[in-house]
Amino acid sequence: MGIQDLLVTPLYLLVFYLLAYLTRPYFTNSQTKRYFMPALTLKFIGAISLGLIYQFYYQGGDTFNYFHESFIINEAMDEGLVKWLKLIFLGGNNDPDLLQYTSRLYWYNAESEFMVSRIVALIGAFTFDTYSASALIFAILSFSGLWAMYHSFLKIYPHLSKEFAVAFFFIPSVFFWGSGVMKDTITLGCLGWLFFCFYNIGVIRKNLLVSFFIGVIVLFLLKEIRVFMLLAFMPPAALWVFVENNKNIENVTIRYLTIPIYLSIGGALAYYLVTNVSAGDARYDINNIGTYVKVNAEYLYAQSMYQGGSAYYLGELDGTLLGSLKLAPSAVWVSLFRPYLWEVNNPVMLLSALESLVVLLFTIRVILKEKHRIITQVISLNPLVSFCVIFSVLFAFAVGITSYNFGTLVRYKIPLMPMYFSALYIMLKTNKRKLQPRKLAA
């Protein structure tokens, strides 16, 4: 970041606030209006702060690597729009005419990283290749997905507008790590839009064309950038949709008779989606995932130890899926409740440890206040809570077993935080006489 950021970014910030103010009536109601501008402001703060932290504390990092590669891609515009469009939408496709650009791109053969660089380049074409202005657009994209999911949750639990606002917008790690020029910002926004599409298409059957179009885009982006998020999302989402539809069957006998059918179809569909989404990806193919987990975890652990970083160790990995599953409880625990305060070795890690402590205390509070019996009732009787809990556990396992480094973990785990907090809030605010959510409405 430099002088250009100081000159250009304030103008974009003014325009974005003006647009937000003008469009707010179309995306809010009497409950949510008060949260719209503060939530957006926190996303902007997170986007700019992340850039400053990486520039002055870490002195470089992935966020600037994406921006550097986007600058190279946008150089192609000097030779005409066709070459630039090939790089943006086709990734160069090993075109010899683009060798002068692709040969300088470190991540050209790394599909997920290069996809992010292309997105940054596309945005940079409208921000004069200004880092901070591009970061603000990243923040808006992430905010839009979270806001869509937030409103979907409120259609089921309209009395939890404040609690869901906290879960989606006011958790520090979420608005910091999920707002800047990073993979995590894109995938967090995509997760929100994907939930919105599943809700509209599979549950309330409204806005089908728009939801289908958005769904195709976000599925493509998630598959290209962070496919394991789809692997964690698809099974509980399929289960959630089928259970919601089963609840709409008025005849009680038929409803109970169709449960095994719904579960079988949902399970088969989830398995099909998971295996086909990961097909062709050596990292997440169901037959190779154990090996990938072992190699990736050991590499990050060794790298962190060499650099004097914040590594953690869960146990020996043997390169098999079963071996990884044996460490699942430890992986879920580390994702949700660590680092501990006594594991802190730098200021950034201290903030993460404090947040993890809050998550642990909040979880204990819910368990003690609502009692085990009531919690299991809420989870079993409420498809949304079941979805949030299953997704959180699956995602916590996935990031916990592969990160082996708290610095990486704090970024990877942010998608589960809104879901997990939402589930806790629902359990905390739901009593014996109100186990069921509001009847779903359009």
Task: Select from 284, 286, 298 the least CA-distant residue to 228.
Answer: 284
Which SS3 state, helix, strand or coil, does residue 150 take? helix
* Phi and psi at residue 311, to the nearest 5°: -80, 155
pLDDT (mean) for 239-244 = 81
Task: From residue 192, give the alpha-carbon distance in Å to each of 37, 108, 308.
Answer: 18, 28, 35
Ordered alpha helix ranges (H), 125-251: 131-156, 161-169, 172-177, 183-198, 208-225, 227-247
Residue 283 pLDDT greater than 70, yes or no? no
Q: Which tokens is 136 given?
A: 């603000």
Confidence of residue 366 (pLDDT cuts 50, 70, 90): confident
Task: Report the pLDDT value the prediction gives residue 432, as an integer from 0 to 100.
Answer: 47
Distance from C-alpha of 150 to C-alpha of 169, rounded to nearest angstrom: 9
Distance from C-alpha of 135 to C-alpha of 205, rounded to nearest angstrom: 34
For residue range 108-131, list pLDDT tens digits in order. Answer: 888 889 999 999 999 999 999 999
Region for residue 61 given its phi and psi (left: phi exceeds 0; alpha: psi -120 to 50; beta: otherwise):
left
Task: Report the pLDDT value the prediction gives residue 383, as an integer from 0 to 100.
Answer: 85
Residue 168 pLDDT greater than 90, yes or no? yes
pLDDT (mean) for 324-348 = 88
- Torsion angle (degrees, nearest 10) of CA 368, 373, 377, 378: 0
Cis amide leading into 383 (omega within 30) = no
pLDDT (mean) for 85-89 = 90
**Whose structure tokens read 């949902």?**
266
Task: Report the pLDDT value the prediction gives residue 345, as an integer from 0 to 100.
Answer: 83
**Whose structure tokens read 């730098």?**
346
CA angle 302, 306, 311 (to 5 degrees): 55
Residue 103 pLDDT greater than 70, yes or no? yes
For residue range 31-42, list pLDDT tens digits in order. Answer: 999 999 999 999
For residue range 289-303, list pLDDT tens digits in order. Answer: 667 677 767 766 677
For residue range 5-40, list pLDDT tens digits in order. Answer: 888 999 999 999 999 999 999 999 989 999 999 999
Q: Centre a 10 Å sphere on the Cβ of residue 426 and count the other Cβ atoms it contains.
A: 25
* C-alpha 401, offset from chain centre: 17
Residue 372 pLDDT greater than 80, yes or no? no
Which of the pair, 223 or 138, is modelled with greater confidence?
138
Distance from C-alpha of 120 to C-alpha of 87, rounded to nearest angstrom: 12
Least confident of 63-72, 116-125, 373-382: 373-382
Which of the pair, 433 or 127, is modelled with greater confidence?
127
Q: How many percent of the chain have pLDDT more than 70?
A: 81
pLDDT (mean) for 226-235 = 87
